[in-house]
Each structure stands twice: as C-alpha cells, then as structure tokens.
Structure 1
C-alpha cells in the first residue's frame, strides 16, 4: 500500500471547500481499529494521570506546590497515550504513516506555518477576550500557572517549555487528529464530521471547563490544517507554532528574564 500524499490547497478557498465535500478519504484497507482504540488511549491517559497524582499526594506533593508533580503528571500520561496510539496502528492496522496520515512534506510545513500564524492571532485575541470575561486566573491552564511562578529551577522550566511547545502538541495531534480522526473516517463519515468531532472532543477532553471555549478557538485553525491537507504533519506544525511563542514567553517569565 502506498503512503498517502498530502493535498496542497492551491485552487482557491471555494474550490478547496468543494473538494472537501466531494472527496472523502479513501477506504482504509487493513485498518482494524476504530473508536474503541481512541477510548482505550484516553483511558490510559486519564488513569496514568490519576495514578501519578495519587502517588504524589501520598508523599505530600500537590499540583499547586510541586513543579515536579505537574511536569511528570503532564509528560508521562500524554506520551504513554500517544505511544499506545502508534502501537495500535502497527498491531491493528498499517502503521502511523498510512492510518494516521503521519507524514511531513514541504507543503505541509508551509501550510501549517501559515495557518499557525492565523491561529496565533485568533488565540491571542480569544485569550484576551476570555480573560476579561472569566478573569485572568480562570483563563490560565495549570502549566501556565506554574510557569508564572518565578524562580523555577532552570531544568524544570526548560523541560516544561519543551513539553508545552513540542511534546504536548505532537502527542495531542497523534491522539486527536490522528487516531480519533481515523476512527471517524473508518465509519465512512465526512471529513467535515471528523473536523467538528475532533475539534469539540479536543477542547472538552482537557477537563478545564473555564477554558473550553478558548480551547475550541485554538483547535479550529489546527483542525483546518488537517482538514485541507489531509496530513497530520500540517496540523502538528500549526499546533507547535500556536504553542511555541506563548511557551517561550512563559519560559522567559519563569526564569526572571521578563
């Protein structure tokens, strides 16, 4: 089976939208996984996070007081979940390149950067607006709150920056716009359905009720990159770019540079 090729959106917006509606993804021959795989991956993510938090609590550590607990509780579950998603594609399918559309071409990078810049603009505006509505404290994630604590150990601050800017986005894309998107496609649903469902579940699954609407805004441009190019690589680039500048700003803040 040949590797899937990404689609370069070069025919204009209207024609691109028509192509999305007219041309669903080709049948996934050999894929023997679906929504059950996504639910298993999410269960591993949640249970491992709960386990790590419980172990930390047994030693008197809390998410509010322990940067190490936040770091381990963020890194380990998402990496376990993404790793399991990739393993599933090998065991029950054709591997991540075919099943998850996990490839990266020059066109993917260029389009991902373009849509990522657009996403940054919307994210900053949405974050400002959301912060004025619910208050700045309620609009900040757990990682953001920890970053805002100045004088973090340099190693911890750098590791959190790498997680926020690279590891987190890559793993989340594998899980949501890779595994979940592929499960939707296997049902024969449209690419639009995959886009809407993965966007909503991505926002809700963060379990941050105060930030759900903001996460929806963040997720839309990233999902558009996957929708138009049919490549997970493009959405990964868009997601990394969306997180990179905020992550860098928080890193500089946490080490006292700004």
Structure 2
C-alpha cells in the first residue's frame, strides 16, 4: 500500500521510510528557506527509548497498585490506577521529543487535518470489521471471551459515575494515549531502522498486541494493530490512527454504558 502523503518529495538525512508527514513538511520548508523555527534536529531518540517508555509504564503501574492497593470494584481508585501509568505512555514520548527532538507534532506525526480524520473513519471501520472476523474465529476456537476493560466495566455497574468516566477513558482517552505510544514513538523508532515499512507495521502491531497481556485476544489485537499501523503509514499521520482507534473502542464503551 503506497502512502498518500501530500508532502513534497524531499531528500534529507532527517527522513526515513514511513517518516511522519509533519516531519516531511518541516524538512521541505527548511530546505525551501521558509522554516522560521529552530533548526530541525536529527536522530536524537531511538528504539531504546520505546523500551524505556514501556518499562516506566510498568513501574508506574506497580507503584500505583502498591500505594493504593487493589481498588474495589466500584471505587474511583480504578480510574486512578488507569490514569497514572498513562503518564509514561503519553507523557514520556511528548517530553522526549520536546527535549531532544523537534516536538511531538513534528516527530510523532500529530496534527489536525480533516483529511486525516476522514481516513481515520475509514480505517476505523476496517478495524471493526477485522475485529469482528477475528473475534468470531477466536470464539469458535477458545469459546466466549471478554476484554480486560470489559471485565472491569462489568464490575463498575454499581457506581454509574465511575462507569461513565471509565467508558470515556476507554473510548477517547486510551486511543489517544496508546497511539502516541505505539504509532507515535514505537512506530517511528522502528521506522528509523530504515526497514521495509510493512515490517514496521507488523512489528509495531505485535508489540501492541503483546503489551495488553490478554492471551486469548492476541490475534484480535494484532489484527487491529496492523490496521492502525497501515493508517499511520498510509497518511503519515498518527492522528489518523487515533481516530481509527477511537472508532474501534467507542462501540465497546457505549455497550458498557447501555448494558449497565
């Protein structure tokens, strides 16, 4: 699948296969002499930073549970336990690119574009289709299953306020945070090895699937991850992957609310 990025064709040591369109545009402007901000920085962050991000996420998750304990099924502490580790998944890539890169917008491919949003809706529909197909196959093989978020949501029905906030985190928050981490930092870190872009898509999808620690859903998460990776490569924009991820998560979040 060739990318449909609208950025000019430019050659620069700063660029690599499947580089975000925001970086390509910035390089083109710098070469044309129209770039008015600080000079663009090169390869100051790498795949080791992606491993560090996941390690920090794990540390924050463990420390949070160690401090607050295992939250009761209807407790607001469940929201706290969800939010604190996100500091690593979203905060670390943003801070890293600000400190040693060109900022999250340029380095992570974050921008507002109606074209990116439109493609996000397309890929979101595709991700739902992939999830349904793989879900049916998984059910035939392993029996009925639920997601970790779905199981937590079922336990929150006794506290509607917590359930609503949790559903918002699943439908809106998780796609933003996880795409900054996986199609932002991890995808670009892999792409900087200058491998075949499809390999970057597959590897980032595999890391995404394994990260969730849900054995029965690995195939489903891998399939969704591939679609999200294709969305990122196709448009050069992580925003597209965020919108697609939201399309995939929002139906489940609504189901949690409507079934309560």
Report the TM-score when normalising by structure 1: 0.81
Look up the match of 2:103.
95
Taking the aligned partners of 1:111 and 1:189, their CA distance within structure 2 comes to 24
Look up the match of 1:76.
84
Matched, 1:34 2:46: yes
Equivalences for residues 125-136 of structure 1 within 5 A = 125-136=133-144
Matched, 1:202 2:208: yes
Query: Which of the residues 215, 220, 227 maps onto 2:226?
Result: 220
Matched, 1:107 2:115: yes
Taking the aligned partners of 1:69 and 1:128, their CA distance within structure 2 comes to 34
What number of residue pairs does the alignment pair up? 231
Look up the match of 1:18.
none
Matched, 1:240 2:246: yes
The CA deviation at 1:232 is 0.5
Taking the aligned partners of 1:202 and 1:93, their CA distance within structure 2 comes to 24
Q: Is the 8 A contact 1:115 1:238 kept in 2?
A: yes
Matched, 1:50 2:50: no
In structure 2, the CA distance between the partners of 1:101 and 1:151, relative to structure 1 (3 Å rule), is: closer
Q: Which runs of 5+ in 2 are unaligned?
A: 7-16, 28-39
The CA deviation at 1:162 is 0.9
> Secondary structure at 2:176's aligned position in 1?
helix
Q: Is the 8 A contact 1:181 1:195 kept in 2?
A: yes
Q: What whole-Å deviation, never above 9, does each CA across 1:30-55 have from its counterpart, x for those lacking one?
A: 23001121111111111111112222
Taking the aligned partners of 1:80 and 1:216, their CA distance within structure 2 comes to 22
Q: Is the 8 A contact 1:35 1:183 kept in 2?
A: yes
Q: Which runs of 5+ in 1 are unaligned?
A: 9-22
| CA RMSD between the two structures | 2.4
Taking the aligned partners of 1:185 and 1:93, their CA distance within structure 2 comes to 16
Runs of 4+ in 1 over 4 A off after TM superposition: 26-29
